[in-house]
Structure 1
């Protein structure tokens, strides 16, 4: 095993530039572990490379390595943001590329800071190999939690998402996305300990890897029961983003939308996010009457905007048909795309994004249809299971989760698969089926095991007619997440980092007395 890693990865005397670029390359390989490749094992190997590089590094060197890894990972994983800024925002391609690089650099600072902390605590505590493995996992968990929560959070392609497939997926209903991130980091650090010639830790490292594999094989997985089937019609209009807000094309797009709705046969009809690109109050009453007539005996949820200029517009789903007076407003907004962080108004105005400073919605409840209860989510919201966990528990718990999205801002390469992967993780965490209606993809029905039951090809207009099986019941993750939010993970990470330091301080006087 130790011979598998190049010398420059295992040597603590490697030149700083070589080590930095090795970390940068490992970060790029880390991106390849996510959808569409689903190479979960590559996520662990890439992170093991970072752990081996930083194993005996100084805090300054560890920070540089963490920054390089994050920069390679997040710039290669978020490159598609360039499309929205350059093609639709009108920013010159070089400045758009620089903006993506700056965002990746900013997010990489979390990993730089926490790896520096790991190195500093390790120097003080002088832990054994097993403790150092645990400390690395705790460090990585803290960095992931910080990225998910600070400034509203941006946990896109958090490391645990690579494990919607593979053995660690069995942990999803127990510890959730960030718990899996920590377990993957634990496995990566154990691999690094096995591979480094100077670290004689094969027994504890092998024990960690063996216990993870054994637990994944033995963990109970059935926590929910069937509540029957419902027929759904999921629309995918495939309207190019540069035509969506074009005044000369809106009428034609609305006609296409009405025809898709009229052709739908499901007990629930779901349209993508902002499929009507203007506030509902601006629509022709005759058009609204047509939609009502097309859905008189079933619910239709139409993506549009509710509100006014004074109070703000809310990215919403508005009901038609047999679902009286239901509306759903998005609460967890996307930075820059839907709300403007303080001090960045100039940047958003430069991009010219329509509806880029929105209000937050109020109603977050599920609705009943055909014997099921459906909980809507709008685009970015399905990254934050902690925001809607209460909807899958209790007497009115949702039996089906539904996401509506428009990712046409970002093309079709990589981003559609990444966003689908987030829905797959939520399906695993809560053991709920997930239905998705999107503008350009991925429009899909996932079962409660996160397997695709039906899917439309991307970038193709149509209606996905499918059946979805509702599920009811509580996973262990749902129980403790609702009770404690993410605090158990924060506390576990801090404890794993501080306990070796406290033990080291307590052992120092004893060692001094023995020496005297």
Structure 2
């Protein structure tokens, strides 16, 4: 049993890490659970007999965490894609297993270099964990869904978001986890250096809490904007069907766009599920004409392009007295919007409208309307704060409001909806910009610039969410440095930890 216990603990802690991101039932993040679950792993690694065993423990933890985080990919592949259940389950396991290799590497390096010194080991673990998170978020287009920092959107570390972003929050949480793990070690409890590190960490948490509590709303950018966010709730297996979903979408969204009385009306990703030339005669002209005059504007999700020029997942903006605005999605979903090399055999096995879409530009102009600069992002593009940050290179043209248009009906009524809402909330915290979300099935919401959900439409219902939103102004430190340097400052911090681990690889951990 002794030999089995560490593996069971690592797997159980990984599952808790996944649950901390959005607790089933209420969808709320549990920041303390994220720290404690990671502390279990941090405590297991120095006790591993070899670096290989430590790597294996880190892999088990991360694989369990990632499977527990994005298990809902199974729904898209099996329920809607028609892929056989065993193959769909295997695909999720293989993806999680591959991404877990980054954390296995971090675990091996930590176990090899840890010396039982609170400050050094805490910094080392935080830096190595940061490197693993960055690798997962950037390599092969990146898939950072479920990064540890998202569990802290309501916790004390949320105060760090406008300074270091979600990856920096993940590193801070790893530092805390390492200190907590050392409570179980007698030598650490008797060390004044350890308690000094604990006091410093407690001071950091207290300062974050005070800063959050003392937060005074600053003047927003421009007048408040009244918005109407449309949620069609069209089942994914009907959405692109000519006899069911397409007529419903054209009818309901067309009517809501024409008749909803708000300054800005937003319809979600591919709300109009046909290319403009495929639409019924006069439909597109009537849609554009509804916003040709008056005091209303719209952002509408629609595919664009042709066989000759290629296709894009796009958003069109209509406003009185202005040419049509166009935003093309840049960060495409593997297998859904582009097919990675050597994987066409896999996509042929699924009944999903797949294709190789063209990419839009990073940091495109915003949609100007009613004194606001609206920056659309589509689907999971709000997962990549460094790409949204590119729009802040010129403060004079920086967005005042983010607009997310999504369709995650692919994942059914799963925890993916809650996880995506927390992701959008953290982007609002990083940039001090509100995020309004129009989705097909949820979560359609208005999030203020402090990451608070002020309006929320019940998921899996058809309706219109009405509310007001106040734009944000100024530049957060995170927006300032990420717009100029991308993630390189964090990469340098992580590489410094790797160098420290390499230099200390021959040192034996203290008992």
TM over 0.5: yes
Could you tell me how far apart the structure 2 residues matched to 1:119 and 1:300 are? Answer: 54
Could you tell me how far apart the structure 2 residues matched to 1:411 and 1:38 are? Answer: 20
Q: Deviations over 1:189-240 (max 9, x none)?
A: 0000112335445414423422321331455866963122001111101000
Could you tell me how far apart the structure 2 residues matched to 1:224 and 1:403 are? Answer: 23
Pairing partner for 1:118 from 110, 115, 136: 110
Could you tell me how far apart the structure 2 residues matched to 1:330 and 1:496 are? Answer: 35
Q: Which position in structure 2 is the counterpart of 1:79?
A: 71
Deviates more, 1:479-488 or 1:420-429: 479-488
* Cα drift, residue 121 of structure 1: 3.2
User: How does 1:3-402 map onto structure 2 within 5 Å?
Assistant: 14-15=2-3, 17-35=4-22, 36-57=27-48, 58-122=50-114, 126=115, 128-200=117-189, 201=191, 202-217=194-209, 219=211, 225-227=219-221, 228-249=223-244, 250-296=246-292, 297=294, 298-322=296-320, 323-362=322-361, 364-392=364-392, 393-402=394-403
Could you tell me how far apart the structure 2 residues matched to 1:428 and 1:453 are? Answer: 14
SS at match of 1:351: coil
SS at match of 1:350: coil
Query: Is this contact kept in 2: 1:86–1:92, CA < 8 A?
Result: yes
Q: Which position in structure 1 is the counterpart of 2:412?
A: 411
Could you tell me how far apart the structure 2 residues matched to 1:148 and 1:252 are? Answer: 37
Query: Is this contact kept in 2: 1:77–1:157, CA < 8 A?
Result: yes
Q: Deviations over 1:113-150 (max 9, x none)?
A: 1211222333xxx4633211211111110100000010
Q: Deviations over 1:363-416 (max 9, x none)?
A: 821021111110000011101111121324511111101000000000122011
Match status 1:469 vs 2:470: yes
Please report the TM-score for the alignment, with normalisation by the length of structure 2. Answer: 0.92
Stretches of structure 1 that go unaligned for 5 or more consecutive residues are 1-7, 9-13, 509-516
Stretches of structure 2 that go unaligned for 5 or more consecutive residues are none
Q: What number of residue pairs does the alignment pair up?
A: 491
Q: Which position in structure 2 is the counterpart of 1:511?
A: none
Residues 438/118 of structure 1: CA separation in 2 closer, same or farther (3 Å cut):
same
* Cα drift, residue 275 of structure 1: 1.0
Q: Which position in structure 2 is the counterpart of 1:514?
A: none
* Cα drift, residue 290 of structure 1: 2.3
CA RMSD of aligned residues (A): 2.1
Deviates more, 1:130-139 or 1:280-289: 280-289
Could you tell me how far apart the structure 2 residues matched to 1:226 and 1:169 are? Answer: 21
Query: Is this contact kept in 2: 1:333–1:339, CA < 8 A?
Result: yes
Could you tell me how far apart the structure 1 residues matched to 2:230 and 2:478 are? Answer: 32
Please report the TM-score for the alignment, with normalisation by the length of structure 1. Answer: 0.91
Could you tell me how far apart the structure 2 residues matched to 1:127 and 1:192 are? Answer: 11
Could you tell me how far apart the structure 2 residues matched to 1:66 and 1:470 are? Answer: 42
Residues 260/223 of structure 1: CA separation in 2 closer, same or farther (3 Å cut):
closer
* Cα drift, residue 76 of structure 1: 1.1
* Cα drift, residue 266 of structure 1: 1.1
Could you tell me how far apart the structure 2 residues matched to 1:380 and 1:479 are? Answer: 23
